[in-house]
Amino acid sequence: MNSFKPWQELERLRNDMDLMLDRYSGTTPWRLAFLPGRGARKYPQLNVIEDEARYEVEALAPGVDPDTITLSVQDNTLTISGEKKPAEDLRPEDYHRSERSVGKFVRSVQLPDHVDQDKVKAKYREGILTVVLEKSEAAKPRQIPVEVG
């Protein structure tokens, strides 16, 4: 089914442009497969996947204290916040290497359609936060039966 969906195509193009700008405005122009150095770019990095009934948002956030993760949904915007806590009782001179960034973060992502606020599920496994958001009924594609007279 490769039907032409102009609005979806435009949206995709816009997202691609955003992504491209995001990429080139950072310190490294190529794709990084993991969390880069501190403060280099938006954190956490997100993947957004869509199917007919839901959106799936994946956030790359290893080492975040699960108790600090909060999610909020309003209309079509998902906001993720949390804290990656530093190791305790350490003096700066104890460090030989410090490449992992720590601290509080907050990030919002706008989804193309409204979602049902009561049907948001999230899990945090292997350092990846996965949020599944059901589309609101109005946003779901509906099949209209055709009467044959």
Partner 1 sequence: MAEIEKTVPEVAEGAAARGESTREGELYAMPPVDIFEKEDALYVLADLPGVKPDGLAVNVENGVLTIEGKVEREEKAGYLRREFALTSFYRQFRIAETIDTERIKAALKNGVLHLTLPKIERAKARRIPIET
Residue 111 vs 144, nearer CB to partner 1: 111
126 part of the interface to partner 1, by CB under 8 A: yes
By the rule CB under 8 A, 31 interacts with partner 1: yes
Q: How far is the CB of 146 from partner 1 (least distance, A)?
A: 27
Q: Are 57 and 109 in contact (CB under 8 A)?
A: yes
Query: Is there a contact between 84 and 55 (Cβ–Cβ < 8 Å)?
Result: no
Residue with smaller CB distance to partner 1, 91 or 147: 91
Residue 47 near partner 1 by CB under 8 A: yes
Q: Which residues on adjacent β-strands are paired with residue 134?
A: 54
Candidate residues 34, 39, 137, 144; the one interacting with partner 1 per rule CB under 8 A = 34
Which positions ≥6 away from 49 have C-beta within 8 Å?
A: 55, 56, 57, 58
* Closer of 66 and 145 to partner 1 (Cβ): 66
Contact 127, 61 (CB under 8 A): yes
Q: How many CB atoms lie within 10 A of CB 43?
A: 19
In this complex, which beta carbon is closest to partner 1, that of residue 12 or of residue 146? 12
Nearest-5° Cα angle at 115, 108 to 119: 105
Peptide bond into 44 cis (omega under 30): yes
Residue numbers at the binding site for partner 1 (CB under 8 A): 11-12, 15, 18-19, 22, 30-37, 42, 45-51, 55-56, 58, 60-66, 87, 90, 94-101, 109, 111-112, 124, 126-128
